[in-house]
Amino acid sequence: MQSYFQEELIKLRKRIMKMFVLAGSQIDRAFLSVTNRDFETDDTALINENRIDKLDTKIDKLCQRIFALAQPVATDLRFIMSSLRIANEIERIGDIAFDIIERSEVLRPFPETLDEFKITPLFSDVQQLVNRTAEAYTNNNSELAKEILMACKKNEESCKSVFNEIISQMTEKSQVILIATDLILVIRDLERITNHLENIAESVVFIVEGKRFRHLNQQ
Amino acid sequence: MKDIKVNVKDLSVFYGTNMALNKISMEIPEKKVTAFIGPSGCGKSTFLRTLNRMNDLIDNVRIEGEVWMDDIDIYHKDVDVVNLRKKVGMIFQKSNPFAKSIYENIAYGPKINGISQKQKLDEIVELSLKQAAIWDEVKDRLHDSALGLSGGQQQRICIARTLAVNPDIILMDEPASALDPISTAHVEALIHELKKYYTIIIVTHNMQQAARTSDLTAFFYLGELVEMDKTRTIFTNPAKKQTEDYISGRFG
């Protein structure tokens, strides 16, 4: 009974890690689709998107089963509750990355515009954040999670500043308006991914320390 | 936090030379449910029995420390133990109704306390059975044997019998461990209702039962009180690793 329960917890952690890997590769792919002029669309993004959705459903079922059969408490309870939430956050990250890939065709021919607005560093910051968040979850590292929370704040500010820069360019140069509109959507998407990573980092702190950071840093 | 009903200071209990409890200090609030949890042999039942001096009945027991109920030290030499046990009722794991009618089971305590008027006894029996949430099930057969009832009903008769002498505190030693889930739910609902009027202390091996029924939980291990806190804290974020390991089934 006990070892069965432990196995279920390990299974849950592995599935979340798989979701992290898939979401990370979707973001990598979104980056390439926007920045690489030679990027060729295929079914990979759709296949990954479906795998993420399936894992999310499987995690729902697994958590439901654990709650019903093992009645977890304390750290186990916080881990399962949070993993359920984290799976939903990763699923949303996957959706957003997929949306970027779908919209990327418009931006792809203009790498110099992307450089001008520093989109590449924004993307790589988000890629790094995904990897670090996955690491914090995998290793139950609440200190790293707190660092991520700060990095997310910084990233959101960078997104806002690029956003403002684009708006000001749009008012000055009418020829950038078309591409800038799509760029704004991408930046918004990167900001939303950052928000989801922030929620995940808060959940990691909750799992490890039992403290709720959720919404506190918005007050 | 409500007023403190029981205040235990540095209580140690020895069976011969064997120390069963080691300097336990604890405050038990009035009209709340306090659960004692811990593995077998950890001392939780011994501790429960010190609260109505049932350990006095065991040979070779030595008790050190103080147990205050309201403003009375219950181990003081002038304390009347019979009177104490009237104030501190006890429910056991196995229901133990007398081989008498349901009515006689409930009326027994009031009778030996000097109440003989039938009308008064009738009132006490009805009120106690109602408080124990079993009146509707037995009101038409009060003079049938209590032994003919189901295990869950017998346990509620025992609770009614305890209530009939108007205690302040009810001690429960695994009161639902021999009951089916429906009877257990009845007893748990009853505990929830009774805490409005009584201070309840329950020993249980059932973690979910402690979580469902109690306001505070105390975890005992090897005769020591490891941790005591609000039940919601113990079951969501306990302070001690030993507590966490025990409640999540990782002990040993």
B-proximal residues of A, 77-106, CB under 8 Å: 77-78
Nearest to A77 among B236, B249, B250 (CB): B236
B169-173 sheet: strands from edge to edge = B88-91, B169-173, B199-203, B33-37, B216-221, B224-230
B239 and A CB contact within 8 Å:
no
Top pLDDT among B88 and A211 is at B88
First to last CA, chain B: 35
With CB atoms and an 8 Å threshold, state whether B250 touches A2.
yes
Model confidence band, residue A58 (pLDDT cutoffs 50, 70, 90):
very high
d(CA A50, CA A43): 11
Q: Is the pLDDT of residue A166 over 70?
A: yes
State which of A69-73, A78-82, B247-251 shows the largest mean pLDDT: A78-82
Nearest to B207 among A2, A73, A76 (CB): A73
pLDDT of residue A214: 65
Chain B closest-CA separation from residue A3 CA (Å): 10
Reading chain B (252 residues) residue by residue, the pLDDT tens digits are: 559 999 999 999 999 999 999 999 999 999 999 999 999 999 999 999 999 999 888 889 999 999 999 999 999 999 999 999 999 999 998 889 999 999 999 999 999 989 999 999 999 999 999 999 999 999 999 999 999 999 999 999 999 999 999 999 999 999 998 888 888 898 899 999 999 999 999 999 999 999 999 999 999 999 999 999 999 999 999 999 999 999 988 875
pLDDT of residue B252: 58
Helices and strands in chain B: count of H runs, count of E runs: 10, 10
Q: Is the pLDDT of residue A181 over 80?
A: yes
Q: H-type helices in B201-240, by residue range?
A: 207-213, 231-236
CA-nearest residue to B243 within chain A is A74
Q: Is the pLDDT of residue A201 over 70?
A: yes
d(CA B241, CA A44): 46
pLDDT of residue A16: 97
CB B87 within 8 A of CB B114: no
Q: Is the pLDDT of residue A108 over 90?
A: no
Chain A and chain B share a number of CB contacts under 8 A equal to 29
Chain A closest-CA separation from residue B234 CA (Å): 8
Ramachandran angles phi, psi of B234, nearest 5°: -60, -40
pLDDT of residue A47: 95
pLDDT tens digits for range A13-36: 999 999 999 999 999 999 999 988
H-helix or E-strand spanning residue A89: helix A74-107
A71 and B CB contact within 8 Å:
yes
Q: Could you report the predicted ipTM of this complex, rounded to two decimals?
A: 0.70
Model confidence band, residue A218 (pLDDT cutoffs 50, 70, 90):
low
pLDDT of residue A216: 58
Chain A closest-CA separation from residue B235 CA (Å): 5
pLDDT of residue A1: 39
Q: H-type helices in chain B, by residue range?
A: 44-50, 81-87, 102-112, 118-131, 135-138, 151-163, 181-194, 207-213, 231-236, 241-247
Chain B residues within an 8 Å CB radius of A210: 236-237
Q: Are strands B4-15 and B18-29 parallel, antiparallel or unpaired?
A: antiparallel
> Which three-class secondary structure state does DSSP give residue A211?
coil
Chain A residues within an 8 Å CB radius of B209: none
Average pLDDT of chain A, as a whole number: 90
